[in-house]
């Protein structure tokens, strides 16, 4: 690989503005459970390719060659479906960029693709409850390693770490508070696909704290390949809040979409839906807290639903005028859940919670076909205020695409919209009562 010398200044404008990339990761192979590919890898391949068995270099080399061979790609698609090759590519990225490096080194390589002074949200991951085996390095160590980068006088200013909140971890409320107040963490990360709903009663303490202090939250809102690998529970067959919504999906891969679904955030942020649910838990003795109004929660739906849901929006017909729902009241039923694209649902949620519900375009911005719809969406002033720049470094594209993704976005949407989504909106999103100057 070569090195660039002269062109950095080209994108450092004289107005000394700051770019904020609101969605990146620096976790390493050691933070990922041993059998994260369980259930996805056919023929027991997850065991053959487990990290401790054949060494990360061996895996990466083999998989890299496979994903670059058109013949292999064609065969794998036919045998295991279209999700299989992108999944392999993610393994390759993880191995290429996250092996034998600490989080500081990964962060440094991320910085090297941006103008000086660019700031980054780095999202931690707690994968200890997804039933895929233990990670080599515990979550607490992952948090402390990143806290050490935050404590560095130079790198700390460029870093906004988010602490992962899994409701199954004991004392999650205290942990979140401690890392935000004592260790310089900026926000909170959620990943319901790992096996919980975002309105899980065990998270209420976290949400109340976030709401009170205007702390930003980031959640994963796209179909993905990292999800709960354990046994599906019988009670999951019925949505806990939306009436008459049965969820018969058997495989974990298909069921995970129900945890990720954007309507779950309406269930969380609308007190008329949340409170009866919490009352039920209180009666059953499984909830002891209060009944918070979370309509002002600063929540970002990461990936804006994903490019496949953007495609669905473009191709599905609109409802006829008779069926058309006036205003922004989504009917909360099985039809909306199953038939309306996530792009539509999220757009309505933004209109309903105009200052609190954000979206980021990480991952999604890597697909050429999303740009016309993105540009047209940014014409709507309510939506434009809530969109954040992010890339999902290094999970999707790897660092080789990092600079081209950012420059492409800027070229496509133009300077004014670019600075809204890369600076003005992130500054509003990130500033809290605890850390007011992001």
CB atoms closer than 10 angstroms to residue 339: 12
Q: Are 110 and 176 in contact (CB under 8 A)?
A: no
Task: From 47-55, 190-198, 348-356, 386-394, give the range in contact with Zn ion by CB under 5 A.
Answer: 386-394
Min dist. Cβ of residue 366 to Zn ion (A): 12
The nearer residue to Zn ion, 208 or 392, going by C-beta atoms, is 392
Exactly one of 309, 392, 399, 402 binds Zn ion (CB under 5 A); which one?
392
Min dist. Cβ of residue 87 to Zn ion (A): 15
Q: Are 368 and 398 in contact (CB under 8 A)?
A: no
The nearer residue to Zn ion, 128 or 392, going by C-beta atoms, is 392
Q: Are 358 and 387 in contact (CB under 8 A)?
A: yes
- Tell me whether residue 99 is exposed, middle or buried, using C-beta atoms within 10 angstroms of its C-beta: 0 to 12, 13 to 18, 19 or more: middle
Task: From 204-212, 235-243, 251-259, 390-398, give the range in contact with Zn ion by CB under 5 A.
Answer: 390-398
Quick check: helix, strand or coil at residue 185? coil
Q: CB nearest Zn ion: which residue?
A: 392
The nearer residue to Zn ion, 245 or 397, going by C-beta atoms, is 397
Q: Are 61 and 159 in contact (CB under 8 A)?
A: no
Q: Token digits for 168?
A: 């199954």
Q: Are 103 and 27 in contact (CB under 8 A)?
A: yes
Site size toward Zn ion (CB under 5 A) is: 1
Task: From 135-143, 182-190, 389-397, 399-407, give the range in contact with Zn ion by CB under 5 A.
Answer: 389-397
Q: Say whether the peptide bond before residue 394 is cis (omega within 30 degrees of 0).
A: yes
Q: Are 303 and 213 in contact (CB under 8 A)?
A: no
Residues 397-426 within binding reach of Zn ion (CB under 5 A): none
Cα–Cα distance, 419 to 173 (Å, whole number) = 34
The nearer residue to Zn ion, 90 or 177, going by C-beta atoms, is 90
Residue whose structure tokens are 């999800």: 227
Min dist. Cβ of residue 301 to Zn ion (A): 12
Min dist. Cβ of residue 362 to Zn ion (A): 6
Task: From 46-54, 146-154, 319-327, 384-392, give the range in contact with Zn ion by CB under 5 A.
Answer: 384-392
The nearer residue to Zn ion, 186 or 336, going by C-beta atoms, is 186
Query: CB-hemisphere CA count at 13 Å for 334?
Result: 9
The nearer residue to Zn ion, 200 or 392, going by C-beta atoms, is 392
Min dist. Cβ of residue 94 to Zn ion (A): 12
| Binding-residue pattern over the window 138 to 157 for Zn ion, x denoting contact by CB under 5 A | --------------------
Using the rule CB under 5 A, is 309 a contact of Zn ion? no
The nearer residue to Zn ion, 30 or 392, going by C-beta atoms, is 392
Cα–Cα distance, 328 to 418 (Å, whole number) = 27
The nearer residue to Zn ion, 83 or 351, going by C-beta atoms, is 83
Contacts of the segment 80-87: beta carbons below 8 A, 24+ positions apart: 80/42, 83/40, 83/225, 83/253, 84/40, 84/42, 86/225, 87/37, 87/40, 87/225
User: What residue ranges bind Zn ion (CB under 5 A)?
Assistant: 392
């Amino acid at each position: 690989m070569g090195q660039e010398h002269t062109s950095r200044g080209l994108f450092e404008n004289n107005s000394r503005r700051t770019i904020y990339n609101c969605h990146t990761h620096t976790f390493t192979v050691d933070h990922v459970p041993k059998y994260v590919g369980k259930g996805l890898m056919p023929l027991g391949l997850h065991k053959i390719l487990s990290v401790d068995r054949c060494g990360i270099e061996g895996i990466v080399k083999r998989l890299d060659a496979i994903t670059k061979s058109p013949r292999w790609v064609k065969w794998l698609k036919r045998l295991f479906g279209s999700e299989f090759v992108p999944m392999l590519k993610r393994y390759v990225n993880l191995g290429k960029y996250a092996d034998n490096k600490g989080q500081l080194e990964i962060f440094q390589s991320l910085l090297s693709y941006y103008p000086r002074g660019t700031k980054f949200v780095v999202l931690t991951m707690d994968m200890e409850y997804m039933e895929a085996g233990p990670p080599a390095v515990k979550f607490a160590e992952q948090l402390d390693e990143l806290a050490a980068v935050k404590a560095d006088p130079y790198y700390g200013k460029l870093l906004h770490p988010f602490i992962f909140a899994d409701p199954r971890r004991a004392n999650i409320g205290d942990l979140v508070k401690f890392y935000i107040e004592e260790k310089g963490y900026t926000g909170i990360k959620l990943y319901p696909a790992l096996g919980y709903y975002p309105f899980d009663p065990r998270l209420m303490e976290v949400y109340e704290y976030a709401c009170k202090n205007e702390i930003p939250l980031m959640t994963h809102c796209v179909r993905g390949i990292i999800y709960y690998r354990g046994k599906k529970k019988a009670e999951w067959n019925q949505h806990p809040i939306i009436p008459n919504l049965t969820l018969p999906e058997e495989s974990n891969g298909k069921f995970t979409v129900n945890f990720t679904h954007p309507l779950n955030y309406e269930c969380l942020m609308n007190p008329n839906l949340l409170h009866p649910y919490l009352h039920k838990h209180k009666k059953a003795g499984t909830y002891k807290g209060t009944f918070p109004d979370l309509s002002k929660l600063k929540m970002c739906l990461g990936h804006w639903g994903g490019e496949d849901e953007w495609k669905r929006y473009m191709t599905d017909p609109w409802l006829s005028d008779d069926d058309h729902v006036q205003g922004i009241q989504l009917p909360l039923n099985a039809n909306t859940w199953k038939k309306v694209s996530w792009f539509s649902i999220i757009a309505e949620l933004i209109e309903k919670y105009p200052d609190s519900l954000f979206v980021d375009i990480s991952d999604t911005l890597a697909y050429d076909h999303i740009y016309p719809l993105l540009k047209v969406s940014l014409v709507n002033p309510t939506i434009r205020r809530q969109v954040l720049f992010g890339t999902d470094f290094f999970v999707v594209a790897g660092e080789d695409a990092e600079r081209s993704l950012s420059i492409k976005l800027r070229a496509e949407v133009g300077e004014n919209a670019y600075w809204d989504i890369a600076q003005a909106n992130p500054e509003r999103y990130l500033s809290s009562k605890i850390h007011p100057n992001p």
